[in-house]
Amino acid sequence: MDWLPGAASSYAADLDRIFYVILAITGLIFVGVQVALVYFIIKYRGRKGRQASYVEGSTKAEVIWTVIPAVIIVGIAVASQTVWSEIKDPNHFPTDALEVNVEARQFAWAFTYPGADGELGTDDDYIRYNQMHVPVNRPVVFNLTSVDVVHSFFVPAFRIKQDAVPGMNLRAWFEATEVGEYELACAELCGVAHGLMKGKIIVLSEDEFQSWAAEQS
């Protein structure tokens, strides 16, 4: 049984490992709590001649159930900090990446690519809608904006989810590792046609991408 979609980006495996560690920890806690619940239900069930008694709180117990979760949470945060910084910290973004502008609106995606000069914001830029073409095994940094409401750029196979907020330019990146087509969805409720705001990430070989880009220019 696959818990997650097939991983197709450079950092997807690292995120999956963090997910499974958290799942294991929370799963063990859940099972332990349920076992304790059943035990106490049976042990302290109503019986003939038994009277209820008042039990004062336990400072020791309160310290234990406060400290242990705190240690677990801090431990997870520390263990995942390297991966989080690699993915979210702009100072760690790849420097040799393809840069694309992504504009979200009700209910479509617009992708602006640099033209022959390789720079965004010039006259030879070109825009494509609802299909983002990228080369395989090459980082892609995108500048994400919204023109109306909050949207969210979500590609399950890449393990990337970045909100698009009106008035803000948010940067994110990914590096696809498998050629193919991948679902792009808006993961933030954005209006009556939210469910129709779909796109595709089309991952091509480097040669195919260069041919495609030349045709667009």
Output the tens digit of pLDDT for each of the chain's 217 residues. Answer: 467 888 999 999 999 999 999 999 999 999 999 999 999 999 888 888 888 788 788 888 899 989 999 999 999 999 999 999 999 999 999 988 999 999 999 999 999 999 888 889 899 899 999 999 999 999 999 999 999 999 999 999 999 999 999 999 999 999 999 999 999 999 999 999 999 999 999 999 999 999 999 998 7
Amino acid 141: pLDDT: 96
Amino acid 51: pLDDT: 81
Structure-token pair, residue 52: 């209820």
Amino acid 203: pLDDT: 97
Amino acid 188: pLDDT: 94
Amino acid 1: pLDDT: 44
Amino acid 52: pLDDT: 79
Taking the model in full, what pTM does it have? 0.85
For residue 174, give the nearest of 142, 206, 207 by alpha carbon: 142
Contact 5, 157 (CB under 8 A): yes
DSSP codes, 141-170:
EEEEEESSS-EEEEEGGGTEEEEE-BT--E
| Domain locations along the chain | 12-90, 93-216
Identify the burial level of 160 via C-beta atoms within 10 angstroms of its C-beta, where 0-12 means exposed, 13-18 middle and 19 or more buried: buried
Can you say whether the dihedral through the CA atoms of 66, 68, 74, 80 is positive or negative?
Answer: negative
Amino acid 150: pLDDT: 96
Euclidean distance between CA atoms 8 and 201, whole angstroms: 11
Amino acid 47: pLDDT: 82
Secondary structure letter of residue 176 according to DSSP: B
List Cβ neighbours of 24 (8 Å cut-off, separation of 6 or more).
none
Amino acid 168: pLDDT: 95
Euclidean distance between CA atoms 115 and 20, whole angstroms: 42
Give the SS3 label for residue 67: helix
Amino acid 44: pLDDT: 85
Measure the N-to-C terminal CA separation of the chain; round to a whole number of Å: 44
Amino acid 2: pLDDT: 65
Amino acid 48: pLDDT: 84
CATH entry 2.60.40.420 includes domain 93-216:
yes
Euclidean distance between CA atoms 175 and 65, whole angstroms: 41
Amino acid 3: pLDDT: 75
